[in-house]
Amino acid sequence: MMMEHTELRQRVAELVGAATEGTVPVGAALAGESLVALGLDSLGLLRLVDAIEQEYGVEVEFGGPGRLDTLDEVVAAVAGAATATPG
């Protein structure tokens, strides 16, 4: 079962921090600003996508129709993908 929204938000913020090797601190990601403006670059985005796929077993499309630029948008995409994934 998917974790509670607050826990998921915290964990995804930690994944952002790890994917950017600390360029985007967890606290800054949690503040809700644009992750790109905070320093999430294309390599960090690839790392984040990989980490989310490994941790949650879901695929998240960051280049799709809805732009995912804030932590809350990423969390909503992860939660949505998790509920759409059978099992």
* pLDDT at 44 (0 to 100): 94
- pTM score over 0.85: yes
Number of domains comprising the chain: 1
Question: Long-range contacts: 67-72, Cβ < 8 Å, 24+?
Answer: 69/34, 69/35, 69/36, 70/32, 70/33, 70/34, 70/35, 71/9, 71/12, 71/13, 71/16, 71/29, 71/30, 71/32, 71/35, 72/9, 72/32
How many angstroms separate the CA atoms of 84 and 35, rounded?
A: 25
CATH number at residue 18: 1.10.1200.10
pLDDT (tens digit, 9 = 90+) per residue, 1-45?
A: 456 889 999 999 999 999 999 999 999 999 999 999 999 999 999
Domain carrying residue 13: 5-84
Q: How confident is the model at residue 81 (pLDDT cuts 50, 70, 90)?
A: confident
